[in-house]
A and B are shown apart, each in its own frame.
Chain A
Amino acid sequence: MNPFSSGTRLRDMIRSIRACKTAAEERGVVRKECAEIRASINENDPHDRHRNLAKLMFIHMLGYPTHFGQMECLKLIASPGFPEKRIGYLGLMLLLDERQEVLMLVTNSLKQDLNHTNQYVVGLALCALGNICSAEMARDLAPEVERLIQFRDPNIRKKAALCSTRIVRKVPDLAENFINAASSLLKEKHHGVLITGVQLCYELCKINDEALEFFRKKCTEGLIKTLKDITNSAYQPEYDVAGITDPFLHIRLLKLLRVLGQGDADASDLMTDILAQVATRTESNKNAGNAVLYECVETIMAIEDTSSLRVLAINILGRFLSNRDNNIRYVALNMLMKAIAFDDQAVQRHRVTILECVKDPDASIRKRALELVSLLVNANNVKQLTKDLIDYLEISDEDFKEDLSEKICSIVDKFSPEKIWYIDQMLKVLSEAGKFVKDDVWHTLIVVISNASELHGYTVRALYKAVLTYSEQETLVRVAIWCIGEYGDLLVNNVGMLGIEDPVTVTECDAVDVIEDAITRHNSDMTTKAMALVALLKLSSRFPSISERIKDIIVKQKGSLLLEMQQRAIEFNSILDRHINIRSSLVERMPVPDEAASRARRSGSLPASDSTMSKPSVSIPNGVTAAPLVDLLDLDSDDILAPPTSSGVDFLQDLLGVDLGSSPAQSGATPPPKAGTDLLLDILSIGTPSPAQNSASSIDLLSTADTLSSPAPSSIATTAPSGMFDLLDGLSPSPSKQATNGPAYPPIVAYESSSLKIEFSFSKMPGNPQTTNVQATFINLSPNTFTDFIFQAAVPKFLQLHLDPASGNILSASGKVTQNLRVTNSQHGKKSLVMRMKIGYRVNGKDVLEEGQINNFPRGL
């Protein structure tokens, strides 16, 4: 020990760090040591460098930053002594990684060390290079390494071989240079060199096709002979592991043979003997033997077909599968997945065992087995398999339920032979694992249900029974609510009974009970509750006798703290109160969505529902915008409302949202547009199935007035959320060419029909060119009186519209009503005004709707 050395020895430092009781204490000790080391570094004293570096490495392993030590590594490597170099290279490999530029500085030292006289120094350099060299260093030093592959000492040869492996991985272009050197290594006797040489050849074959051809032609036979020798060799204590001589060498050779035989019938032919020999004669009671067998099976599977070998391989896998050792079973499951590709039958024979593995207590095995099972499914065994899997679903752990239910759903989806079976299985899955089931799964289920019209009765009864027992599975409840809402009459009247069903009497009260329960249960989430309200509305039409009760439930929700619920409750209540006549057309049966289209959309779409959630906020009166349910809210509300147009939209989301306002008669029920359809028409029709209802809801939202006589047309269509209005721009022809760019704008006839004429006259505020005041005059051209007159308008995104209350809403024959509008054009000067409008009124006891587009605004407004 150098008497002049200062500072603690490595051992002492480690001891003192380990003696620390708290993290803070440890930090203190480490800080002190780092300070000493830094001081020592500054002194540039060569004696303590290696001890300092050793300490730094320990500190680094604890997780502290040690950048200041990097240059020390370089200095140590540059020192002449072996111990310094040894620790210097170790420090280099530990403290630096290949991405750091400091590494480049080592290149020169490495080059010198690769040419050192002491072979152990050469070994150090090769090791360091092989572990962390970057691509540039690889390029620089490749010639040296290549030369060293032929060095006299086997220790260096094997290191050089592995170092070359890294070089060709980093710089594949250099592969050609190593081919010859590598092939010479294959003739070695020394195991270490042989292993590394085989590894190098393997890498070369993977990277470079020329190399592959070369080795295939020249070396296959030699390799086979080597493998034969080693398999048949006598006991060698140095290399023996569990009765096998050098299993590592076996495995490397088998791997290389695999690459050589793959895709080449001749090479594969040559190998069959030795592969059969290895497969049959290797002992498989220890891990080493099994490792060799595993590799052998992999090779057999990969090379060109000789069916007897394959049978042998699958038998081995079958044996593995029933091994008690978990590792072996895992490996077998892995391999069987590959085996399915070419011999499905053989693997099917093991189906029962594989199913057992799905229930294994080990999570890794369960996962593998499940994947394998899903590959095994075909039309014949799907029913049995699904039954087994669902049985297991009931008893499996929570964390596995998710994977399992997903797999079951996809199996059922792909292979279901008939709709009724599909529905049955999905019901079972939802009952057991509903909360893990993703949205598009149950959406698809609903699509399928509505397409299977003959099964509506059966489905709704089954759902009713299920939801009584499994009411905590959210998705099940949702599907059930939807179905009961839609097909409630079938449920109650036992329509469409199938032979297999037991008769069940469900009264209207029972059905409503279920739904009420869903609303009032405290752990239902928003979607469920909202859907429940919709279902209630439907039922109020289908079950007129308990309409009162339904109304009560809805009224109770008017005071709900959830905005969505409140809005829906208020709207539905007003339908029930005032618009009882349109209720039945509102809630007629949903039009059946196209199954194929929904499937295509589902498979082509992005993570569906999320895309609808990212809509910009909509101005809702309360100012609350939060939840994703805002989308549904939007679709309900009369305002604005462009239902999302991205193709990633979840199909049913539209339906659910649209559901409220839809009636089959209107095209609004179909999901919005494919380009080409009339966008704005849909907006208005979706949002406002009838002007009367519309005005009612807007009244309730904005004011306390109860009568229809004072409509408060809210600012419709201010912030249109989607690009639909931009499309609108495209749709509408550019506004009238009667461009009068002067400040005086002539009045226009905005709309004229046989019964109604609308005139607009314009004025602008001085100093505010973007805003235009429009006075609209509505003239009744018919001999009848119009009551409940309402004018609504929608404008594209770049315009803002404000409607003042109309002067009245009764137009007598040839009477007039005026209304003021204010339009602000953010693209004033660039784009002209354009507007769509809708007029509703009542004449002779009938509701009338008129719509039109106003394109003839004077330019410059």
Chain B
Amino acid sequence: MIHFVLLVSRQGKVRLTKWYSPYTQKERSKVIRELSGVILSRGPKLCNFVEWRGYKVVYKRYASLYFCMCIDEDDNELEVLEIIHHFVEILDRYFGSVCELDLIFHFHKAYYILDELLIAGELQESSKKTVARIISTQDQLVEAAKEEAGSISNIIAQATK
């Protein structure tokens, strides 16, 4: 299983973390610090797998972001590389040529997408189209609810003026 997902920028800033195994807050910061150090210091031509604390960490660099996923010893690393790529492609499709800024300002949306992709550290859906469809339906629900709330508030606002 995937134990956690970590997105770090080149400068070591954390952009997204998702934990599928129990780690306390303190442990999380420690892990992030350690792992960022290890991964950010690796050269460009090296393989995408790092052995760390008895687990394997698969990472891939996309522009200025490192996508890292920590897996068990007996998991298929090449597949996890594919999962990372799958995630990035979905993000790309959703945001339209995603860049790091998108992930900063719309981090909650990135999380929603991740939640449609992985649950309990396992892959949920292999079709990008399906994921995109589900996300957009949910976004529409949110929009609709907001509009409704907006219209009621307007009425109240008008009434209390």
One of A90, A192, A295, A367 near B124 (C-beta < 8 A):
A192
Q: A residues within 8 A CB of B64?
A: none
B74 to chain A, nearest CB (A): 9
* C-alpha spacing A505/B60, complex, angstroms: 61
Instruction: Answer whether residue A130 sits at the interface, using C-beta atoms and an 8 A cutoff.
Output: yes
Given known contacts A2-B153, A82-B142, A291-B82, A94 and B125 CB-to-CB distance under 8 angstroms? no
Q: A residues within 8 A CB of B111?
A: 90, 94
Instruction: Answer whether residue A742 sits at the interface, using C-beta atoms and an 8 A cutoff.
Output: no
B29 touches A287 (CB 8 A): no
Instruction: Answer whether residue A826 sits at the interface, using C-beta atoms and an 8 A cutoff.
Output: no
Given known contacts A239-B126, A364-B49, A130 and B119 CB-to-CB distance under 8 angstroms? yes
B79 touches A251 (CB 8 A): yes
Contact with B along A458-499 (1 / 0, CB 8 A): 000000000000000000000000000000000000000000
A326 to chain B, nearest CB (A): 4
Given known contacts A130-B120, A287-B78, A364 and B127 CB-to-CB distance under 8 angstroms? no
Contact with A along B87-120 (1 / 0, CB 8 A): 0000000000000000011011001100100011
B76 touches A196 (CB 8 A): no
B14 touches A165 (CB 8 A): no
* C-alpha spacing A179/B102, complex, angstroms: 42
Q: B residues within 8 A CB of A165?
A: 120, 122
B157 touches A363 (CB 8 A): no
* C-alpha spacing A248/B131, complex, angstroms: 15
Instruction: Answer whether residue B63 sits at the interface, using C-beta atoms and an 8 A cutoff.
Output: no
Instruction: Answer whether residue A155 sits at the interface, using C-beta atoms and an 8 A cutoff.
Output: yes
User: From residue 110 to 152 of chain B, which have CB atoms closer than 8 A to chain A?
Assistant: 111-112, 115, 119-120, 122-130, 134, 137-138, 141-142, 145-146, 149-150
A465 to chain B, nearest CB (A): 39
Given known contacts A131-B120, A192-B126, A362 and B46 CB-to-CB distance under 8 angstroms? yes
Contact size range, A: 35 or more
B107 touches A162 (CB 8 A): no
Instruction: Answer whether residue A81 sits at the interface, using C-beta atoms and an 8 A cutoff.
Output: yes
Q: B residues within 8 A CB of A98?
A: 22
Q: B residues within 8 A CB of A247?
A: 79, 82
One of A14, A57, A238, A362 near B127 (C-beta < 8 A):
A238
Which residue of chain B has the shortest Cβ distance to A244 in the bound complex? B82
Which residue of chain B has the shortest Cβ distance to A255 in the bound complex? B76
B145 touches A82 (CB 8 A): yes
B120 touches A365 (CB 8 A): no
Q: B residues within 8 A CB of A169?
A: 120
Which residue of chain B has the shortest Cβ distance to A90 in the bound complex? B111
Which residue of chain B has the shortest Cβ distance to A330 in the bound complex? B47
* C-alpha spacing A189/B126, complex, angstroms: 13
Q: A residues within 8 A CB of B82?
A: 241, 247-248, 287-288, 291
One of A61, A199, A331 near B78 (C-beta < 8 A):
A331
A63 touches B119 (CB 8 A): no
A327 touches B76 (CB 8 A): no
Instruction: Answer whether residue B65 sits at the interface, using C-beta atoms and an 8 A cutoff.
Output: no
Q: A residues within 8 A CB of B45?
A: 326, 361-362
B51 touches A364 (CB 8 A): yes
Q: B residues within 8 A CB of A310?
A: none
Instruction: Answer whether residue A737 sits at the interface, using C-beta atoms and an 8 A cutoff.
Output: no
B138 touches A87 (CB 8 A): no
One of B23, B46, B108, B123 near A54 (C-beta < 8 A):
B108
Which residue of chain A has the shortest Cβ distance to B125 in the bound complex? A192
Instruction: Answer whether residue A191 sits at the interface, using C-beta atoms and an 8 A cutoff.
Output: yes
A61 touches B47 (CB 8 A): no
Instruction: Answer whether residue A456 sits at the interface, using C-beta atoms and an 8 A cutoff.
Output: no
* C-alpha spacing A65/B29, complex, angstroms: 12
User: From residue 20 to 70 of chain B, which have CB atoms closer than 8 A to chain A?
Assistant: 20, 22-25, 29, 45-51
Given known contacts A63-B29, A246-B126, A362 and B47 CB-to-CB distance under 8 angstroms? yes
Instruction: Answer whether residue A58 sits at the interface, using C-beta atoms and an 8 A cutoff.
Output: yes
Q: A residues within 8 A CB of B123?
A: 195-196, 199, 248, 252
Looking at B45, B76, B79, B83, the one whose CB has the most chain A CB atoms below 10 A away is: B79
B97 to chain A, nearest CB (A): 20
Which residue of chain B has the shortest Cβ distance to A17 in the bound complex? B104
User: From residue 115 to 133 of chain A, which have CB atoms closer than 8 A to chain B?
Assistant: 118, 120, 123, 126-127, 130-131
A131 touches B20 (CB 8 A): yes
User: From residue 1 to 25 of chain A, which have CB atoms closer than 8 A to chain B?
Assistant: 1-4, 11, 14, 18
User: From residue 203 to 238 of chain A, which have CB atoms closer than 8 A to chain B?
Assistant: 238
B75 to chain A, nearest CB (A): 9
B142 touches A295 (CB 8 A): no
Q: B residues within 8 A CB of A199?
A: 122-123
A96 to chain B, nearest CB (A): 10
Instruction: Answer whether residue A859 sits at the interface, using C-beta atoms and an 8 A cutoff.
Output: no
Q: B residues within 8 A CB of A248?
A: 79, 82-83, 86, 123, 126
Instruction: Answer whether residue A83 sits at the interface, using C-beta atoms and an 8 A cutoff.
Output: yes
Q: A residues within 8 A CB of B46?
A: 326, 361-364
* C-alpha spacing A47/B82, complex, angstroms: 41
Looking at A130, A169, A326, the one whose CB has the most chain B CB atoms below 10 A away is: A130
B48 to chain A, nearest CB (A): 6
User: From residue 785 to 801 of chain A, which have CB atoms closer than 8 A to chain B?
Assistant: none
Given known contacts A90-B108, A191-B126, A238-B129, A120 and B141 CB-to-CB distance under 8 angstroms? yes
* C-alpha spacing A505/B51, complex, angstroms: 52
A295 touches B79 (CB 8 A): yes
* C-alpha spacing A57/B48, complex, angstroms: 30
Given known contacts A131-B120, A248-B82, A327-B49, A57 and B108 CB-to-CB distance under 8 angstroms? yes
B23 to chain A, nearest CB (A): 7
Given known contacts A57-B108, A294-B78, A361-B45, A97 and B22 CB-to-CB distance under 8 angstroms? yes
Q: A residues within 8 A CB of B86?
A: 241, 248
One of B29, B105, B115, B157 near A3 (C-beta < 8 A):
B157
* C-alpha spacing A241/B78, complex, angstroms: 13
A196 touches B122 (CB 8 A): yes
Q: A residues within 8 A CB of B50?
A: 364
B24 touches A99 (CB 8 A): yes
Instruction: Answer whether residue A835 sits at the interface, using C-beta atoms and an 8 A cutoff.
Output: no
Q: B residues within 8 A CB of A123?
A: 134
B157 touches A4 (CB 8 A): yes
Q: A residues within 8 A CB of B127?
A: 191-192, 238-239
Instruction: Answer whether residue A298 sits at the interface, using C-beta atoms and an 8 A cutoff.
Output: yes
Q: B residues within 8 A CB of A93?
A: 18, 115
Instruction: Answer whether residue A158 sits at the interface, using C-beta atoms and an 8 A cutoff.
Output: yes
B76 touches A291 (CB 8 A): yes
User: From residue 79 to 123 of chain A, which have CB atoms closer than 8 A to chain B?
Assistant: 81-83, 86-87, 90, 93-94, 97-99, 118, 120, 123
Instruction: Answer whether residue A166 sits at the interface, using C-beta atoms and an 8 A cutoff.
Output: yes
* C-alpha spacing A1/B151, complex, angstroms: 10
* C-alpha spacing A126/B25, complex, angstroms: 24
Q: B residues within 8 A CB of A295?
A: 76, 79
B145 touches A330 (CB 8 A): no
Looking at B17, B46, B47, B119, the one whose CB has the most chain A CB atoms below 10 A away is: B119
Q: A residues within 8 A CB of B126?
A: 191-192, 195, 239, 246, 248-249
| 5 A-B pairs (CB sep. < 8 Å) | A61-B16, A63-B14, A162-B119, A291-B78, A362-B46
Known: A130-B120, A326-B47. 5 other contacts (CB 8 A): A97-B23, A126-B119, A195-B124, A241-B82, A247-B79
State the 7 A-B residue pairs at the shortest beta-carbon distance, nearest first: A291-B78, A326-B47, A166-B120, A162-B119, A130-B119, A192-B125, A248-B126
Q: Which residues on A are within 8 Å of B, measured CB to CB?
A: 1-4, 11, 14, 18, 47, 54, 57-58, 61-63, 65, 81-83, 86-87, 90, 93-94, 97-99, 118, 120, 123, 126-127, 130-131, 155, 158-159, 162-163, 165-166, 169, 191-192, 195-196, 199, 238-239, 241, 246-249, 251-252, 255, 287-288, 290-291, 294-295, 298, 326-331, 361-365, 367
Q: Which residues on B are within 8 Å of A, measured CB to CB?
A: 14-20, 22-25, 29, 45-51, 76-79, 81-83, 86, 104-105, 107-108, 111-112, 115, 119-120, 122-130, 134, 137-138, 141-142, 145-146, 149-150, 153, 157
